[in-house]
Amino acid sequence: GAGVSQTPSNKVTEKGKYVELRCDPISGHTALYWYRQSLGQGPEFLIYFQGTGAADDSGLPNDRFFAVRPEGSVSTLKIQRTERGDSAVYLCASSYPGLAGKDTQYFGPGTRLTVL
Amino acid sequence: GDSVTQMEGPVTLSEEAFLTINCTYTATGYPSLFWYVQYPGEGLQLLLKATKADDKGSNKGFEATYRKETTSFHLEKGSVQVSDSAVYFCALGDSGSARQLTFGSGTQLTVLP
């Protein structure tokens, strides 16, 4: 079946611009996660959705970042007033949650964001 | 907070060599442990996992055993192939209310023919 998809695969923008990154999870997966991966590092958690609501947004670095999932499926990560330090690969993952921490998260290919 | 410490790379081996990539963790409660792999140009894929102490995860010839006494989850393979060249990430899934994964920094493995 189809895996997690993310669009665009690459996004180049200028400092100060607004960007939106989209994630389409595996059908039937109610949990959705956003992570950010800087070069040479492991992914770092940003936000977790269970259904339509953000259950944990403790990883969002500041108020320029926010994410929505209005119908409990597709999610959009939105970054306002982008900065060069926002350049990274943004990963989306989804899962069908069982016990906390034990469910397998399936990752998308990521969106590489470059802020010039 | 939770953390994962992973053996630094890069690691370069000859084909058919034995592989160990060390991973230790710090966590409260009873976390689950995962190894993810990222092949060149591809996304993260789950390689194996273990959800409780003394469990052994295995897949594609790779194994890792959840050792609570040493807080470790080392990845091993008896005979690596060129196709195993990738970046390997150890990760921890918290057993509390948080559901996110905490990742190590990754280990680049290159296998030479």
pLDDT of residue A93: 95
Residue A50, pLDDT above cutoff 80 = yes
Is B44 close to A33, i.e. CB distance below 8 A?
no
Interface test mutation site (partner A, options B55, B66, B101, B107, max chain A beta carbons within 10 A) = B101
Interface test mutation site (partner B, options A29, A90, A107, max chain B beta carbons within 10 A) = A107
In this predicted structure, which of A25-29, A30-34, B26-30, B58-62 has the lowest mean pLDDT? B26-30
Is B103 close to A106, i.e. CB distance below 8 A?
no
Interface residue A91 vs chain B (CB under 8 A): yes
| pLDDT tens sequence across A95-114 | 987 665 567 899 999 999 99
The secondary structure of chain A, three-state, reads CCCCEEECCEEEECCCCCEEEEEECCCCCCEEEEEEECCCCCCEEEEEEECCEEEECCCCCCCCEEEECCCCCCEEEEECCCCHHHCEEEEEEEECCCCCCCCCCEECCCEEEEEC
CA-based nearest distance A59→chain B, Å: 10
pLDDT of residue B94: 76
Please give chain B's pLDDT, 113 residues, in tens. Answer: 889 999 888 999 999 999 999 999 999 888 899 999 999 888 899 999 998 899 999 999 999 999 999 999 999 999 999 999 999 999 998 766 567 899 999 999 999 99
pLDDT of residue A102: 63
Size of interface A-B (CB pairs under 8 A): 77
- Counts of helices then strands in chain A (DSSP H, E): 0, 11
CA-based nearest distance B68→chain A, Å: 16
